[in-house]
Structure 1
């Protein structure tokens, strides 16, 4: 176990070095921004990207790019930042005693004493309130989908206590935007975003299993479950399975959305999205080393680029 004690200035141990929170944010705001993981932006990207996949695919289907779609993009970006922050705050409230026992997390604001539980609850409520204000500008179906998203967010922090698959619960919560953005654009659900959502869930299983290997030793000592502990030496085999599942679900989502009667050029470009994403995931797998925490964190953060790759191909297909 490595001794990542709280630093004198309150920086979190696994924060991005030189991040804007620790460098530029007012001192009074830093503990709250750290609760929201604003010093670790990768999570916001992982929440946002499935939203954008789904929106672009929905526009590809009906070939109707409207000014309202720009507001959907803004709402997805703001909502991803706010709801990721609210979810992380909730996670830290529920896990504060566990975090105090894990080397990587004991420097977080609650276990290190930078904020109280009451202050964290108020901060979480503020973020949810701002998210709700954005959500209520959309159609009733999108509002319902947004409210329903709170359920997996609320459950996720407890998953590690009762299942070996908390990463699956994270995937269920983190990729909800793939369903929401489609509904925000079209007003109803479809099999294509459901398949895209499943691709996001298996992608989350891939990258968060890698991430969880950082804490496997501490988790074993305190009895916290994870896929990293469940798979152990079999992790590479499972990661390959998640790659195959992600590529398959995304390809099926594209085929279900676009069919074979539309533009073959658009279909070919859109189908390149899961193929290219799969290659990037396979390249990550080649660098997997469960004993190297720094390498694990770098691989996890690389998944921003992994998620951008299919988005680029979908956008190119849209304008082809």
Structure 2
């Protein structure tokens, strides 16, 4: 970017943010560094945290065959909570990674390493987001509240995982798909095996998309000693991704079948199309994968919003059969 390109809206923009995003265009200037810290200018992470929640809620409704006005609040509360907790998680991640981020080209422009936000300011922002999310959690049943509090453990551990394991993407999956368990429990009042299997499907999906994402930084990560599945798999990544694809579809299909054991055949047939639709999109990503094309990798990673949305209309339609 040249000096003439640095408009007031673009000042402080993070390297991998959407150009012309709402934070850079519409947010008050004083709030922009904090919204960037929460990745509000990069909404894909909120979607990836939210979609397993909606999967879990819809399958829970299929499981017990009932729906209520409270389910609308669970649906909306998960959306608001995903935005807030994704923001809190990213803030925590950037606090812990502030020294690493400054050494990686794609992340050096983030608010903390670039000096837009102090560590103290980031901690206050983290607490504010977490407290509002906790207030939303308190509107759910006691079992869901317990699961929500427990989710803080993998969230806290994840930023450190790349320092001690080649599988930090697995830790991300544990944290990012917790909503499948929470939303199921918020509806049913208890945890059941279909939700657990759906959760495992989500972890496999995360291993798929975050390995693609990690290939963007593989060279920089190697220089500074940060581990990832992208570095571990290297040129064998397509083969590993194919296995993650199969595991995602198989586990989600199993969760659907266990959910609809007592349902009508038509409902089972429609709901089972959800995992296959997701699998089709993941196969499309594999066909377009080039681990040496950072721009293409980012595009494929972002396309997982659409991949995760695909099962929802099938799950929803099955409710009416």
Normalising by the smaller structure, the TM-score range is over 0.9
CA distance in 1: counterparts of 2:13 and 2:309, whole angstroms: 28
The residue aligned with 1:41 is 43
CA distance in 1: counterparts of 2:91 and 2:112, whole angstroms: 9
Give the ranges of 4+ consecutive aligned residues of structure 1 lying more than 6 Å apart after TM superposition.
none
The residue aligned with 1:294 is 295
CA-CA distance at 1:24 after TM superposition: 0.4
CA-CA distance at 1:61 after TM superposition: 1.5
CA distance in 2: counterparts of 1:220 and 1:139, whole angstroms: 45
The residue aligned with 2:178 is 176
The worse-fitting range, judged by mean Cα deviation, of 91-100 and 133-142 is 133-142
The residue aligned with 2:3 is none
SS in 2 for 1:296: helix
SS in 2 for 1:319: coil
Deviations 1:191-240 (A, max 9, x none): 00100000100000000000000000000000000000000011000000
The residue aligned with 1:100 is 102
Residue 24 (structure 1) aligned with residue 2 (structure 2): no
CA distance in 1: counterparts of 2:316 and 2:141, whole angstroms: 24
Deviations 1:98-154 (A, max 9, x none): 000000000000000000000000000000000111111111101100000000000
CA-CA distance at 1:257 after TM superposition: 1.1
CA distance in 2: counterparts of 1:291 and 1:136, whole angstroms: 45
CA distance in 1: counterparts of 2:225 and 2:109, whole angstroms: 20
RMSD: 0.8
The residue aligned with 2:251 is 249
CA distance in 2: counterparts of 1:207 and 1:61, whole angstroms: 28
The residue aligned with 1:4 is none
CA-CA distance at 1:249 after TM superposition: 0.5
CA-CA distance at 1:74 after TM superposition: 1.2
SS in 1 for 2:319: helix
CA distance in 2: counterparts of 1:306 and 1:312, whole angstroms: 12
CA distance in 1: counterparts of 2:106 and 2:161, whole angstroms: 19
* Residue 137 of structure 1, aligned match among 128, 136, 139: 139
* Residue 121 of structure 1, aligned match among 120, 123, 143: 123
SS in 1 for 2:272: helix
CA distance in 2: counterparts of 1:66 and 1:115, whole angstroms: 43
SS in 1 for 2:47: helix
CA-CA distance at 1:319 after TM superposition: 2.0
The residue aligned with 1:3 is none
Residue 205 (structure 1) aligned with residue 207 (structure 2): yes
CA distance in 2: counterparts of 1:154 and 1:312, whole angstroms: 33
Structure 1 residue ranges without an equivalent (≥5):
1-6
Structure 2 residue ranges without an equivalent (≥5):
1-5
What TM-score, normalized to structure 1? 0.97
Deviations 1:70-118 (A, max 9, x none): 1101110000000000000000000000000000000000000000000
SS in 1 for 2:291: coil
The residue aligned with 2:317 is 316
The residue aligned with 1:72 is 74
The worse-fitting range, judged by mean Cα deviation, of 7-16 and 250-259 is 7-16
What TM-score, normalized to structure 2? 0.96
CA-CA distance at 1:256 after TM superposition: 1.1
SS in 1 for 2:114: coil
